[in-house]
C-alpha cells in the first residue's frame, strides 16, 4: 500500500520502486515502529484526537501485531513484499487497517514518516548498543579468565614484531581488556546521544497537535525529547557516533585477531586454536587454519566502510529530511550484525585456546630480550646509559656469533666488554629479575599485573 497516492495520476515505475522501496531491509524496524506507534497513539489520545474507546482498540491491535512480529520477525518482509509495501511504516499502517479498519487511518494524525523513522532508528540503535555492550562484557570476561589461567606464563613482548622485552601473558590479555573497556565506554557515550526522542517533530516543522512531547519521550524510554524539529528529522549523527564506536571496536578486534594468528602460526607456536574455531583446507589435508581470528581481523574493513558510507551520505545534505537518509540503515545494520558475530565468537576462541607455555618461555628467553636489563645493570654499576647501550650492543653481537643467549656467556666473555660486570650479573639479567624490576603501575611485574587483574575483575563485576 502506498501512503501517498492521492496527488498522483499513475503509480510508480517498477524500477523506481525498486530503487525507492526500503522494506527489504527496514522490515527490521517493525518492533520499534510498533512501539513508537503505541506511544504516538497514547500521545494523540491525550491530545484529544482519539476517544478512549478508539485508543483502547487501536492500542490493542498494535500490541497484537507486535506479538505477531515477535513470533515471526520475517512476517513484515514476506507479507509486505507480497503486498508491494514501500517500507515498514507502510506495512504497519496497511496491516493495522486490515485488522481494525478505518480507525487505524487516524494513527498517523500529526505524525510524519520523517519523525517516525528517526524515532524507530533511535529505538533500534539503543537496543543494538545494549546488546553490543553485553557482548563486550563477555569478551572482557574471557580475557580476564585467560589472564588468570596464564598468570604465570611468560611470552616475548614485541616492538616492530621483533622480540623486545619479556612480558606476562596476562599483561597481554589485559591490554586487550583495556581496549574493550574503552570501546564499551565509547558505545555507552554514543547511547546517550541516541536516547533522545524526535517524535512530535512532524515532517520538519513540529507537529500541529498539542502533544506533550516530554511525556511521550519518557513513555518510550528516552532521556528527553529533541529541541529542534529540523535537526531531529534530518540528522543522523547519533548513527555516526555509534558506527564510529563500532569501527574502533572493529579495529581492536582486528589487532587481537592478528596477534592470535601470528602467535598461533607454526613459526611462533605459542597458541593452538581449538578445532571448533578452525577450518581445514579443501586441498591440503594437513591444514588447520585460524579462520575465526582472520575474520576478526577481516571484518574491520566493512565496519569502517559502514561508517564512511554513512558520513558520505550525510555530507552536504540540505535541511531537513531527504530520501538520501534512507541509506542510513543498511550500514548500521551491517556493522551491528558483523560486530556482534565477531564479539560473540571472540570468547569461544579465547576460552578454548591452548597456550604452549614452554614454547612461550623459550621464545621469551631467546632474542636477547634481556639486553635492556644488562644495560640497566651497568647503569647500577655507575656506567652512563648511552655508554652501557654500546657495551651491551657489542656483547649481543658476540653472543649472536656464538649462538647463545647473553646469560649463557661465560663471565670472562662478558667482562671483556666491561670490567664493571661481576658474577651477580646472571641473576640480574634473568627473566624473573626483569619482571620483578617492572612493578611500576601499568608494568608487567607479577604484582603489578596481579593488581591490574584484580582491578579489571572488580570493574567487570560492577559493570555487569
- The residues annotated with a catalytic role in the active site are 160, 281
3-state DSSP call for residue 159?
strand
Minimum separation from the CB atom of position 235 to ligand ARG (A) = 13
Residue count of the chain, please give it: 464
The dihedral region occupied by 200, where left means phi > 0, alpha psi between -120 and 50, and beta the remainder, is: left
3-state DSSP call for residue 452?
helix
The residue (of 57 and 326) whose beta carbon lies closer to ligand ARG is 326
The region of 98-106, 112-120, 126-134, 357-365 touching ligand ARG under the rule CB under 6 A is 112-120
Minimum separation from the CB atom of position 61 to ligand ARG (A) = 22
235 touches ligand ARG by CB under 6 A: no
Candidates 117, 342, 391, 396: give the one binding ligand ARG (CB under 6 A): 117
22 touches ligand ARG by CB under 6 A: yes
C-alpha count within 13 angstroms, C-beta hemisphere, residue 280: 6
* Element of type H or E holding 197: strand 196-197
The residue (of 100 and 117) whose beta carbon lies closer to ligand ARG is 117
Burial of 226 (0-12, 13-18, 19+ CB in 10 A): buried
- Interface with ligand ARG: number of residues (CB under 6 A): 10
Minimum separation from the CB atom of position 302 to ligand ARG (A) = 21
Decide: 360 and 169 in contact? Cβ < 8 Å: yes
The residue (of 117 and 197) whose beta carbon lies closer to ligand ARG is 117
The dihedral region occupied by 72, where left means phi > 0, alpha psi between -120 and 50, and beta the remainder, is: beta
Burial of 348 (0-12, 13-18, 19+ CB in 10 A): middle
Among residue numbers 307 through 326, which ones bind ligand ARG (CB under 6 A)?
321, 323, 325-326
Minimum separation from the CB atom of position 118 to ligand ARG (A) = 8
The residue (of 114 and 369) whose beta carbon lies closer to ligand ARG is 114
First to last CA, the chain: 45
**From residue 31 to residue 70, what is the string marking binding to ligand ARG with x (rule CB under 6 A)?**
----------------------------------------
Minimum separation from the CB atom of position 233 to ligand ARG (A) = 9
249 touches ligand ARG by CB under 6 A: no
The residue (of 32 and 365) whose beta carbon lies closer to ligand ARG is 32
DSSP 2-27: -S-GGG-SS---HHHHHHH--HHHHG
Q: Quick one: how far is CA 112 from the chain centroid? A: 32
Chain residues in the site for ligand ARG (CB under 6 A): 22, 26, 87, 113-114, 117, 321, 323, 325-326
Amino acid at each position: 500500500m502506498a501512503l501517498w497516492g492521492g496527488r498522483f495520476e499513475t503509480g510508480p515505475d517498477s524500477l523506481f520502486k525498486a530503487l525507492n522501496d526500503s522494506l527489504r531491509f527496514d522490515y527490521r524496524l517493525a518492533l520499534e515502529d510498533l512501539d513508537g506507534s503505541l506511544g504516538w497513539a497514547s500521545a494523540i489520545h491525550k491530545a484529544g484526537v482519539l476517544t478512549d474507546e478508539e485508543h483502547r482498540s487501536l492500542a490493542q491491535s498494535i500490541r497484537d501485531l507486535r506479538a505477531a512480529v515477535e513470533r515471526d520477525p520475517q512476517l513484515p518482509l514476506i507479507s509486505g513484499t507480497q503486498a508491494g509495501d514501500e517500507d515498514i511504516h507502510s506495512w504497519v499502517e496497511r496491516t493495522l487497517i486490515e485488522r481494525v479498519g478505518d480507525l487505524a487511518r487516524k494513527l498517523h494524525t500529526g505524525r510524519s514518516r520523517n519523525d517516525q523513522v528517526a524515532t524507530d532508528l533511535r529505538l533500534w540503535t539503543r537496543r543494538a548498543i545494549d546488546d553490543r555492550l553485553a557482548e563486550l562484557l563477555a569478551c572482557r570476561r574471557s580475557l580476564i579468565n585467560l589472564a588468570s589461567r596464564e598468570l604465570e606464563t611468560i611470552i616475548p613482548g614485541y616492538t616492530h614484531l621483533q622480540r623486545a622485552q619479556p612480558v606476562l601473558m596476562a599483561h597481554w590479555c589485559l591490554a586487550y581488556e583495556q581496549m574493550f573497556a574503552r570501546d564499551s565506554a565509547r558505545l555507552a557515550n554514543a547511547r546517550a546521544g541516541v536516547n533522545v526522542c524526535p517524535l512530535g517533530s512532524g515532517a520538519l516543522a513540529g507537529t500541529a497537535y498539542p502533544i506533550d512531547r516530554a511525556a511521550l519521550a519518557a513513555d518510550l524510554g528516552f532521556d528527553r525529547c529533541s529541541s529542534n524539529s529540523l535537526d531531529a528529522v534530518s540528522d543522523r549523527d547519533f548513527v555516526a557516533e555509534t558506527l564510529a564506536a563500532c569501527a574502533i571496536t572493529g579495529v581492536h578486534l582486528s589487532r587481537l585477531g592478528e596477534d592470535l594468528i601470528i602467535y598461533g602460526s607454526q613459526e611462533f607456536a605459542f597458541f593452538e586454536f581449538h578445532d571448533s574455531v578452525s577450518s581445514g583446507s579443501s586441498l591440503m589435508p594437513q591444514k588447520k587454519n585460524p579462520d575465526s581470528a582472520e575474520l576478526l581481523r577481516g571484518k574491520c574493513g566493512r565496519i569502517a566502510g559502514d561508517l564512511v558510507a554513512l558520513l558520505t551520505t550525510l555530507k552536504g545534505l540540505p535541511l531537513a529530511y531527504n530520501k538520501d537518509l534512507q541509506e542510513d540503515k543498511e550500514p548500521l545494520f551491517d556493522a551491528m550484525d558483523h560486530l556482534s558475530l565477531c564479539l560473540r565468537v571472540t570468547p569461544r576462541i579465547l576460552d578454548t585456546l591452548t597456550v604452549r607455555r614452554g614454547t612461550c618461555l623459550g621464545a621469551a628467553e631467546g632474542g636477547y630480550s634481556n639486553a635492556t636489563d644488562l644495560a640497566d645493570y651497568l647503569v647500577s654499576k655507575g656506567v652512563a646509559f648511552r655508554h652501557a647501550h654500546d657495551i651491551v650492543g657489542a656483547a649481543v653481537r658476540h653472543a649472536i656469533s656464538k649462538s647463545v643467549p647473553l646469560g649463557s656467556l661465560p663471565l670472562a666473555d662478558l667482562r671483556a666488554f666491561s670490567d664493571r660486570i661481576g658474577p651477580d650479573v646472571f641473576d640480574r639479567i634473568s627473566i624473573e629479575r626483569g619482571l620483578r624490576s617492572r612493578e611500576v603501575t601499568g608494568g608487567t611485574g607479577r604484582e603489578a599485573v596481579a593488581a591490574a587483574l584484580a582491578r579489571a575483575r572488580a570493574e567487570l563485576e560492577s559493570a555487569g
